[in-house]
């Protein structure tokens, strides 16, 4: 199998990325690191007082990662907590409008009708802990994050794996959040560069989702993205133009939930996550169906043949107040600058859902 490390900020679609990375038979998930990023937006600063009063967003995303592993029955995959804020930019900002207060809210804004819902999942909803008003859908499954800081533990774990399995290199670092942990890893451990390939969900060739030309993960920490894009490692970016084709239509949701008969907490979790996500995407972006961004990057590693990619120069805008966080993609090679990134341009969507469903089938154990 292909060794992968997943750096994420769960997040509804990150949760699905975790499940795919853990259960796709072509992948060997070495570990998971978390960072604040899902919770970052331009809207709302978190005050010191708020930070003291409630679970910090970083602790929350780490909790979410642990709980997803627990309910999905994943054993032997450790989680380590990463950065609480971007490299250079000030304090974290919150964006509950997309993922809810917990980062993994369920139910409240979902508008899936009973008719759209497979009957077994509907009947089993009682299995999950949630309030009728919404809120976290995950029962806390226990589990502790590893002590230590993500970039250090990532280097140790990846280094130890490669020492035992030298022919398994390169390890694929899949990033489905901001690139802060990845940038620190590359800055602190240059000796790992030759053993890593990076695949990110993020960026946009054109229109952004949290700014006119900015995608959320890159806009969250543009300086970290600049470090990663200029590091000279093999790098693939799966931008929103592609992830916006991975739409969870009612038909797709039905396929995800009924691929194998039977009731499970796990299926109910997926139904709730995707239904909530559908509701927020409808409200905020006027999407009829929500795009499942993050698993696309994992699917790229599992089966790159379902993607069309193009190599090009991609630079990160960090200075402009209008567009800091833009991935400036030189599609026509007008700058003449060396190409540094494979950019996914399209994906076989049907094959993608096949990959996702196979992983869910494999994981359907609860």
Buried b vs exposed e over 203-216: b needs ≥16 C-beta within 10 Å?
Answer: bbbeebbbbebbbb
**Angle of the 57-71 helix axis to the 12-23 helix axis, nearest 10:** 40
Structure tokens at 314: 């991609």
Options 13-21, 56-64, 70-78, 326-334: segment touching Ca ion (CB under 5 A) = 13-21
CA distance 146 to 142: 13
Task: State which residue, 177 or 279, has the beta carbon closest to Ca ion.
Answer: 177
Task: Give 7 or 289: the residue with its C-beta nearer to Ca ion.
Answer: 7
Q: Are the beta carbons of 85 and 181 closer than 8 angstroms?
A: no
- Contact flag: residue 239 with Ca ion (CB under 5 A): no
Site string for Ca ion, 272-301 (x = CB under 5 A): ----------------------x-------
Interface with Ca ion by CB under 5 A: which range of 23-31, 168-176, 244-252, 332-340? 168-176
Minimum distance, C-beta of residue 347 to Ca ion, in the bound complex (Å):
17
Report the alpha-carbon angle 289-291-296, nearest 5: 150
Query: Considering only CA atoms, which of 184, 236, 204, 202 is closest in space to residue 11?
Result: 202
100 makes contact with Ca ion (CB under 5 A): no
Residue 36 or 162: the one with the smaller Cβ distance to Ca ion is: 36
Instruction: Give the nearest distance from C-beta 217 to ligand BDR in angstroms.
Output: 5
340 binds Ca ion (CB under 5 A): no
Q: Which of 191, 278, 291 is nearest to 233 (CA)?
A: 191
19: nearest Cα among 108, 128, 138: 138
Counting contacts by CB under 5 A, is residue 176 touching Ca ion? yes
Q: Any contact of residue 11 with Ca ion (CB under 5 A)?
A: yes
Among the candidate windows 82-90, 170-178, 297-305, 340-348, which touches Ca ion by CB under 5 A?
170-178
Site track 113-132 with Ca ion (rule: CB under 5 A), x = hit:
--------------------
CA distance 170 to 236: 14
Residues 6+ apart with CB under 8 A from 296: 201, 238, 242, 243, 246, 344, 347, 352
| Residue 98 interacts with which of Ca ion, ligand BDR, none, CB < 5 to 8 Å by class | ligand BDR
Nearest Cα to Cα of residue 120 among 235, 7, 259, 312: 259
Where does the chain have alpha helices with state H? 12-23, 48-53, 57-71, 96-99, 119-123, 150-164, 180-188, 216-220, 222-229, 240-243, 250-258, 265-285, 293-302, 349-363
Nearer to ligand BDR, 11 or 106 (CB): 11
Active site residue 293: yes
From the list 99, 122, 293, 333, the catalytic residue is 293
Q: Give the count of alpha carbons within 13 A of 339, CB side only.
A: 13
Residue with tokens 């509804």: 12
The option from Ca ion, ligand BDR, none interacting with 215 (CB < 5 to 8 A, set by class) reads: ligand BDR
- Which one, 14 or 221, has the nearer CB to ligand BDR? 14
Residue 209, contacted partner among Ca ion, ligand BDR, none, CB below 5-8 A by kind: ligand BDR
If binding is defined by CB under 5 A, does position 14 make contact with Ca ion? yes
Q: By beta-carbon distance, which residue lies closest to ligand BDR?
A: 216
Both tokens of 323, joined, read 């567009």
> 40 or 316: whose CB is closer to Ca ion?
40
Question: What, of ligand BDR, Ca ion, none, does residue 216 touch, CB below 5 to 8 Å by kind?
Answer: ligand BDR
Q: Among ligand BDR, Ca ion, none, what binds residue 185 when CB lies within 5 to 8 Å by partner kind?
A: none
SS3 46: coil
- By the criterion CB under 6 A, which residues form the site for ligand BDR? 11, 13-14, 38, 98, 176-177, 201, 209, 215-217, 240, 293-294
- Residue 135 CB, nearest approach to ligand BDR (Å): 19
Whether residue 19 contacts residue 56, with contact meaning beta carbons closer than 8 Å, is answered with no
Question: Could you list the active site residues?
Answer: 293
């Amino acid at each position: 199998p292909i060794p992968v490390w997943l750096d994420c900020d769960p997040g509804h679609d990150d949760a699905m990325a975790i499940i795919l990375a853990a259960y796709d038979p072509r992948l060997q998930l070495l570990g998971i690191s978390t960072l604040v990023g899902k919770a970052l937006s331009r809207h709302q600063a978190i005050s010191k007082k708020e930070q003291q009063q409630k679970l910090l967003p970083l602790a929350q995303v780490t909790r979410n990662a642990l709980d997803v592993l627990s309910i999905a029955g994943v054993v032997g995959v450790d989680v380590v907590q990463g950065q609480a804020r971007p490299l250079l930019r000030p304090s974290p900002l919150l964006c509950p409008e997309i993922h809810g207060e917990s980062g993994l809210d369920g139910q409240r804004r979902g508008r899936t009708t009973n008719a759209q819902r497979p009957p077994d999942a509907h009947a089993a909803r009682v299995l999950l802990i949630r309030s009728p008003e919404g809120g976290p859908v995950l029962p806390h499954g226990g589990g502790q994050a590893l002590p230590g800081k993500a970039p250090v533990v990532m280097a140790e774990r990846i280094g130890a794996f490669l020492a035992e399995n030298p022919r398994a290199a390169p390890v694929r670092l899949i990033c489905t959040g901001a690139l802060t942990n990845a940038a620190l890893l590359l800055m602190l451990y240059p000796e790992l560069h030759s053993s890593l390939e990076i695949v990110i969900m993020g960026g946009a060739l054109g229109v952004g989702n949290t700014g006119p030309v900015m995608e959320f993960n890159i806009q969250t920490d543009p300086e970290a993205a600049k470090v990663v894009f200029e590091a000279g490692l093999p790098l693939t970016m799966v931008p929103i133009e592609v992830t916006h084709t991975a739409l969870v239509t009612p038909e797709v949701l039905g396929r995800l939930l009924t691929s194998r008969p039977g009731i499970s907490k796990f299926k109910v979790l997926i139904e709730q996550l995707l239904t909530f996500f559908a509701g927020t995407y409808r409200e905020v972006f006027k999407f009829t169906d929500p795009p499942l961004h993050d698993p696309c990057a994992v699917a790229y590693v599992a089966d790159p043949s379902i993607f069309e990619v193009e190599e090009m120069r991609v630079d990160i805008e960090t200075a402009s107040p209008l567009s800091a966080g833009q991935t400036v993609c030189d599609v026509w090679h007008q700058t003449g600058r060396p190409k540094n990134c494979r950019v996914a341009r399209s994906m076989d969507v049907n094959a993608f859902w096949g990959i996702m469903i196979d992983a869910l089938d494999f994981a359907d154990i609860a």
